Chain A
Amino acid sequence: MIILPVAGDSLADTAFALPDNGGYMVAAYVVAAVILLTYALFLYRRSRSL
């Protein structure tokens, strides 16, 4: 049996719901910021006296 989504039906709502993957986005943004900030601090510590 094929169930077709109908407006107002919960199945219809899920058919157009965005994928639940916001955690991956947050992880990527945090990882990028941590790598760049760590390297910037590493550069700062070495070049502080220049």
Chain B
Amino acid sequence: MTLAQRGRVWTVSGFVLLAAVYVRALAFTPTERNQGLAQKIFYVHVPAAWSAMLAMGLVGLASILYLLLKDARFDRFAAASAEVGTAFSLVMLTTGPIWARPIWGTWWTWDARLTLTLFLFFLFVGYLLLRSAVPEQGLRARYSAVLGICGLVLLPFIHLSVYLFRTLHPQPIVLKPSAPSLPNSMLITLLASFAVFTVLYIGMVMQAYALVAERDAVVA
């Protein structure tokens, strides 16, 4: 079985599991009293944000490894992860405002967390545009590695922005030093969603990596 085929198996499994998470979130997870049903957007938005940040984190790490070792596999992985991360950051950036409209009364506000996540999306898009604009393989890998490391540097600022700046965005409820501030039924749904989004990320990256490797082989 090729890498692309294995990636497809992971992706299809991820979608089946995503359907199960949707059913659990909508039918078997309690509704929060103050926010109502809109709070359930959280089970899609937060895991999408996690996947986008995981994608950029791995782009940055692969970029560092590429610059150190000059192994083209790290460059290919970074390219694949950036492409998949763009899709997840788009989910994050669309579901967030849909939640914000009924809860905050506005689709968007230029506070630190929201603005930095928009920057993250622009970095993903810029990374992909840069790759497509530089034809020479070694030069493209080097330039994009530098941009990938910039993305990695952005991640702690995104996570800590709710502590560093006055912001409307809710503070972390799972990834924080103290215990998660959620009832178990909600926490299980959220963790299941995290796992499913990670499975989707892995499956999509496997397919994207196979495509990048094929393109590099054709060019060489």
Contact = CB atoms under 8 A, between A and B. Distances in A.
A6 interface: no
A20 interface: yes
B75 to A, nearest CB: 19
Contacts of B33: 16, 18
Give the bracket for the number of chain B residues in contact with chain A: 35 or more
Nearest to A39: B87
B41 A25 contact: yes
A25 B29 CA distance: 14
Contacts of B211: 43, 46-47, 50
Interface residues of A, number: 24
A4 interface: no
Nearest to B31: A18
A31 interface: yes
Contacts of B3: 50
Interface of B: 2-5, 7-8, 11, 15, 18, 22, 26, 31, 33-38, 40-41, 44-45, 48, 84, 87, 90-91, 94-95, 98-99, 101-102, 200, 204, 207-208, 210-211, 214
